[in-house]
Amino acid sequence: MTDLALFGFGPAGWGAAMVRATAMTLAVTVTSMLIGAAGGAAVATAKLSGSRALRAAGDAYTTVLRGVPELLVIYLVYFGGSAVVTAVAAALGFEGFLGMPSFLAGSLACGLTSAAYQAEVYRGAALAVPRGQMEAARALGMGAGLRFRRILAPQILAVALPGLGNVWQLGLKESALISVTGLVELLRQSQIGAGSTHQPFSFYIAAGVLYLALTTGSTLLFGRAEWRLTRSTRRP
């Protein structure tokens, strides 16, 4: 079978399966990025707070999650979550092992790791905002919420966007690790196709091309967003 027929969309082709797997990879990456954004904002707030306990907790979180391999985090979340689900089911009268959904486990694990990296991006961006602007806003009588919406948040986003783009790219590639939970994303689908057709080279090359298309498209989108957010601050 030629590569054109192998990756076609007919009954014998693998094109539709590879497209669905690519969509699954995007879904996992977007979900983990959103989880990481919420967690990262909370951790960054803790690290910038005046409380020594909150700063210590934030430092501990980023140190551990950035220092532990992401594959290990996936295993801990998947098997730990499955143990909790099984225990809850047993308490309700159900028997047997109940596994945590692969999509949920993978997205949560990657999101927890992403939060550690995003926290540092947000923290650095917040520290880059001139303090004089916040002092001037207080002098004008702006409340904390209004200062955040009008002054802090827009500038943090503009400064943090390049770093967030790097975190996204890492998450997009590291989503391949979730295949260990059985989720059929792009790498897992390539493994299935390679094993079924005995043409691993073709499938892994196709996976590489699809990953490259995703990362290239993401780079263009983040670059466009960065241009729009910073056009008012660029020199003519």
Tell me the per-residue pLDDT of 181-193, one tens digit each, with 9 for 90 and over: 889 999 999 999 9
pTM: 0.87
CATH number of the domain at 18-230, out of 1.10.10.10, 3.40.50.300, 1.10.3720.10, 3.40.50.2300? 1.10.3720.10
pLDDT score for 19: 93
For residue 32, the Cα-to-chain-centroid distance in whole angstroms is 4
Q: Using a CB cutoff of 8 Å and minimum separation of 24, what contacts does 226-229 make? A: 226/158, 226/161, 226/162, 226/165, 229/154, 229/157, 229/158, 229/161
Collect the ranges in the chain with pLDDT lower than 70. Answer: 1-3, 231-236
pLDDT score for 207: 93
Nearest of 208, 202, 213 to residue 186 by alpha carbon: 208
DSSP designation for 152: I
pLDDT score for 122: 93
Q: Where are the domains of the chain?
A: 18-230
> In whole angstroms, what is the distance from residue 33 CA to residue 21 CA?
18
Q: Using a CB cutoff of 8 Å and minimum separation of 24, what contacts does 196-203 make? A: 197/1, 197/6, 197/14, 199/1, 199/6, 202/3, 202/6, 202/7, 203/14
